[in-house]
Amino acid sequence: MSQIFDHLSIGFDVAFSWLNLLVAALGAFLGTLVGVLPGLGPINGVAMLIPIAYALNLPPETALILLAAVYVGAEYGGRISAILINVPGEASAIMTTLDGYPLSRKGLSNVALSLSGWSAFCGSLVATIGVIVLAPLLARWALAFGPAEYFVLIVFAFCCLTSLLGRQPVKGTLSAMLGLAIATVGVDANSGVYRYTFDSVHLFDGIDFVVVVIALFAIAELLELLESTIRGEAPEVPPNERKLFNLKELLFTKWTVLRSAVLGFFIGVLPGAGASVASAVAYSNEKRYQESRDPDACFGSGDLRGVTAPEAASTASAVGSFVPMLTLGVPGSGTTAVMMGALTLYNITPGPVLFDTKPELVWGLVASLFIANVLLFLMNIPMVRVFSKVLSLPNWLLVPGILCISYIGVYAINAGTFDLTMAAFLGLVGYLLRKAGVPMAPMVLGVVLGDMMEQNLRRALSITNGELHILWDSPITQGLWIVSLLIVVVPPLLRWRRARRRGKGEAVDDDLVAADD
């Protein structure tokens, strides 16, 4: 324990220098802006700042603090547009839209924004403590995950999504299958075969996630809003009655935040799993847990726990992804892979020896993560009222404004008009699917996880020359298969049992009434 405090004293000495404090504050602010704008995301934000940091001749620890602050800030910022206008700023904010946007339509956008900021802060704090205490141990655990384990982990994530299917599992399953189909478009990386490209060069690289999420959330939502406005049925958003969440709401969500933060951190430690997997699993598990205790839980229609769970998990996962990068030299996410590239510019190789050769860099980064999260929380809470003013704009200004911002994000991908056309087409498809009652979240998650699922399955099978036994040979895969099966089978059995008990109770009441007569 004394060694940990010695390391932290080194880290805070580095982090509290005026230059690093200024850089952390600047990175947190820029990261929030990056997260708000659909289409940018933390990877692009970090990548754009690397040449600037190198050109300014910043010390390596200062450059890493800047990039880490942008990364965590983008995780914060992605929730703002998700809650206010139903447009997730990045993949991990998809789950936040499910309850965040309904809360904003009820006039509780201030509460949702401030509570999500608090949840993100707690998630990062829990994960930072985890990095300090458990980093070496968790690094060895993460090494046990090979392609087969990752494939089964993603199967487990999809099994968790069964709670999102609600009372229409067929439509939810169809949505997830459509997402997986979209993920297969493009040139197969292993065989070079062109799949569903229709001889269009624009589809050789597949359909970008940003195009899909903008189409299915922003454009489809705007078409629904336009339809209701034309019919004179546009819902009026009640004014925000409060600036922040209260103590009762804080206590109501405290265990949700803690459970989701711990879960998100452990998923973030796994190289390549990412915040999108963490937020999806955390939301689904929390929804299933709460509905098993209280069948009247309103997840999907404005439950505060539906906002806090994915936010705590995604930020905890982002911090957790630094563990494999620092201890093993293996990127924990796409963003940390870019950050590893930045370290190579300084001739620094991440790995176990980094803790001995560059302790000021490692522990300065850990300390700055804590400082950046405090700054983000203090920065975002006063801005809640400013952000929520978006909802008070008239539709004639709000609709084209959202459309312009969304299309800027789409155009920035390849600077071509094809993506704009594809977004419009998928937006129309999404609008029609919404009218048919098909949920959008499983489809988008299918797009996010589909490629990762396919690539890990192929790698696993290539190890055994096509033999399937690798998918259930290890204790980890066996455990994940068992848990996945229980997640799929147990909830319907419990619902059937409750319905049967309710039916017996009603039958007993009818018998008593008949006896009285």
Separation of alpha carbons 431 and 420, rounded Å: 16
Residue 512, pLDDT score = 46
Residue 71, pLDDT score = 82
Separation of alpha carbons 439 and 276, rounded Å: 17
Residue 345 in contact with residue 50, Cβ under 8 Å? Answer: yes
Residue 70, pLDDT score = 85
What distances in angstroms separate CA 134 from CA 144, 312, 443, one per listed residue?
16, 19, 35
Q: Spell out, as residue ranges, where the chain has pLDDT lower than 50.
A: 508, 512-513
Residue 237, pLDDT score = 57
Separation of alpha carbons 238 and 228, rounded Å: 17
Whether this model's pTM surpasses 0.85: no
Residue 21, pLDDT score = 86
What distances in angstroms separate CA 187 from CA 199, 213, 386, one per listed residue?
11, 21, 44
> What residues does 187 pair with on adjacent strands?
194
Residue 141, pLDDT score = 64
Residue 226 in contact with residue 233, Cβ under 8 Å? Answer: no
Residue 161, pLDDT score = 67
Residue 217, pLDDT score = 75
The alpha carbon dihedral of 43, 45, 50, 51 has a sign of: positive
Residue 49 in contact with residue 89, Cβ under 8 Å? Answer: no
pLDDT tens-place string over residues 306-362 = 889 888 888 888 888 887 777 766 666 667 777 777 777 777 777 666 766 777 777
Residue 382, pLDDT score = 76
